[in-house]
């Protein structure tokens, strides 16, 4: 399957949950928010959403400071 992650094309052989994909990509799951096809995908749905169910993901990695 094929989709975009932060504007870059990703090709995967096996489908997997969004959570598993994010972990494999090395994201710190405590510090990110995920947009799936233009809508936020809240953390509670990462486990039950398959990564192949969308065309495009944006992941924002928050940095500290305020």
Q: Which residues bind another protein (CB under 8 A)?
A: 30-33, 35, 38-40, 42-45, 58, 60-66
Q: At closest approach, how far in Å is the CB of 14 from another protein? A: 26
- Strands of the sheet containing 39-41, edge to edge, are 8-11, 2-5, 56-61, 32-36, 39-41
Give Cβ neighbours of residue 64 (< 8 Å, ≥ 6 apart): none
Q: At closest approach, how far in Å is the CB of 5 from another protein? A: 15
Closest CB to another protein among residues 1, 33: 33
Q: Are 22 and 16 in contact (CB under 8 A)?
A: no
Closest CB to another protein among residues 15, 47: 47
């Amino acid at each position: 399957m094929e989709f975009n992650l932060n504007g870059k094309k990703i090709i995967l052989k096996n489908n997997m949950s969004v959570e598993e994909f994010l972990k494999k990509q090395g994201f710190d799951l405590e510090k990110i928010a995920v947009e799936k096809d233009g809508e936020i995908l809240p953390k509670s749905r990462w486990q039950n959403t398959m990564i192949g169910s969308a065309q495009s993901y944006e992941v924002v990695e928050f940095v500290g400071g305020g």
